[in-house]
Structure 1
């Protein structure tokens, strides 16, 4: 097993524009089988019919990448009811009995990035408490990323699809860039524990080939513990699931936006500790894989034949991984799905040999 070297430094950047890959029939059937594909009262295209927009500023008065959009009255009345219903489908499996307490407070649109998402703010009319969810274009590579996150990470993900529409729950946490700026160097931050978590997050991304985890594409959750705090880094953008050709784009340590964290990892942890935390994370991923092995195999079988990247990127990644692991199996891969499956086998090989699998091998 080749360990990820945190002393290797390189500044990289993913492709500026990634195409939207349509959901094929096999993936659609998978989504229906596991309750992801449902009927929705409004679609992504419905939200595109806004009349105008104004830039959205944060609580400090700084402009964001989002714009608040408005609709004509007839369109708005329809959308208000439909979007509250979608929230109920997402949160309460379609129990609409609570809808009278809810309303749409705001709809924001982001033209930055690939998915051009809408962010829906739902407010409780009784106490003004609010929640968010997102409506995006359904992109098969993003859906694979969400599903692999749900199955292989320590986090569960709620999302729904309907035709060309993807609905995602809001993932709460401190944005990674905000954490670096306002929390990383605070006296009450346990930097050693956070450094450990970043090593584990780095490993999670590399094992399942989730790319572009720059600081603004993940959040940090802080949980009070017995005498201190625990940290969890969660990905919030799954657009770059096994799309890019460069191996290092799947390692958060190589993005310049994350460099302050990498510096703390090198300062706080020695090589043996880093290797230990990487091994711990691979073991936990293997346990999750084994417990969901049939569903994961079903997903990867569909992914194996799906078109979710460009031929030149597939060629580059399989060559780089073959060279990195000194393993020619990667050179036989013809799709990104095949590369992901080979990557899982390669990175989890030691753990797969020792964890019981009730007679079912992942190699099948």
Structure 2
């Protein structure tokens, strides 16, 4: 079943960092002083549109600054790069050049994308500067602990620095590359989409439309293995409709859903779901105090609207028939219960068949 984006809120508010979350960021070295703020980059003097190789508007604009500010901004951005990717010293500044500062007005986060190049070998990388949002921070941390991928990011007051996640944007891959994949590669992609779909649902990461995740081809001996990785964490535990947390229900992913239906038997789909739940449960068990502290901070935090909390807890109750969900007052409490549900049922092997029934959305 496919639905359109009407199930998404038109505008998601930005939520401040609470005292508990701030203490968590301090403890785990996510909070650090940086020499430039998001608001500083908004002082650009002008901009030009950025087009892709086919001449299509990317919805990004390349901004430029007055001569009086450019030197200071460049130096500050090099410092941020050094903090994010090196030891924070200025020894590497002489080898770095800030090639571009791009700004995106599309979506909620309105990020700046910084392109930094090593002038000795022309290798370059990106990082992003965004406004701090508590729900996005929870999303980044949960991705770091519960997905197969580590994430590097920093927070300082109202500014969030994120490393670039490399990969082919899902919408680009679906349009330009998927038609040329072999049947074997399509089967493997179908498997990965099932597991990605399950992982997003378990940790309540919403809005995984095709342009909010990337597909990464990994060459393994004589074949290519594809992995799917989220790149936008703006919709962590915000929306009230449960289907928002399933990538399969977005029309932008219809081709991927269709491929799953064609390439995989239902028994295989069920098995891949169980595999992913088991992997996430193992990560929950091995995460120790770090995940517990994050969940404790989230349980008392306000990262969504009251009506969204009430709707989501009722829809999850209808799915799993666990009355504890009806007692939740925050999105953090719902998330905490959902993760406990996955962990408990993984530990109780005799409950496997019940897990399958409870987590399957009709």
TM over 0.5: yes
Structure 1 vs Structure 2 CA RMSD = 1.2
Q: Is contact 2:281–2:342 with CA below 8 Å preserved after alignment?
A: no
What whole-Å deviation, never above 9, does each CA across 1:156-205 have from its counterpart, x for those lacking one? 00000000000000000000001111121214461010000000000000
2 CA distance for matches of 1:296 and 1:353? 21
Say if 2:248 is the partner of 1:233.
Answer: no
Q: Which runs of 5+ in 2 are unaligned?
A: 350-362
Bigger drift between 290-299 and 300-309 goes to 290-299
2 CA distance for matches of 1:154 and 1:245? 26
Q: With the length of structure 1 as denominator, give the TM-score of the two structures.
A: 0.93
2:211 is aligned to: 216
Q: Is contact 2:2–2:251 with CA below 8 Å preserved after alignment?
A: no
> Deviation of residue 348 (structure 1)?
3.7
Structure with the higher fraction of residues in helix conformation: 2
1 CA distance for matches of 2:221 and 2:122? 33
2:23 is aligned to: 29
> Deviation of residue 141 (structure 1)?
0.1
2 CA distance for matches of 1:312 and 1:269? 37
2:63 is aligned to: 69
What whole-Å deviation, never above 9, does each CA across 1:267-321 have from its counterpart, x for those lacking one? 1111110110011111111111111131111000000000000000000000111
Three-state SS of the structure 2 residue aligned to 1:93 is: coil
2:103 pairs, out of 95, 109, 132, with: 109
Say if 2:33 is the partner of 1:51.
Answer: no
> Deviation of residue 339 (structure 1)?
0.4
1 CA distance for matches of 2:118 and 2:196? 34
2 CA distance for matches of 1:16 and 1:318? 21
Q: Is contact 2:97–2:119 with CA below 8 Å preserved after alignment?
A: yes
> Deviation of residue 327 (structure 1)?
1.9
1:337 pairs, out of 326, 332, 342, with: 332
1 CA distance for matches of 2:342 and 2:28? 27
* Pairing 1:1-364 to 2, within 5 Å after superposition: 8-12=1-5, 13-188=7-182, 190-353=185-348
Three-state SS of the structure 2 residue aligned to 1:40 is: coil
Q: With the length of structure 2 as denominator, give the TM-score of the two structures.
A: 0.93
> Deviation of residue 16 (structure 1)?
1.8
1:360 is aligned to: none
1 CA distance for matches of 2:86 and 2:348? 40
Q: Which runs of 4+ in 1 moved over 6 A?
A: none
Q: How many residues end up aligned between the 2 structures? A: 347
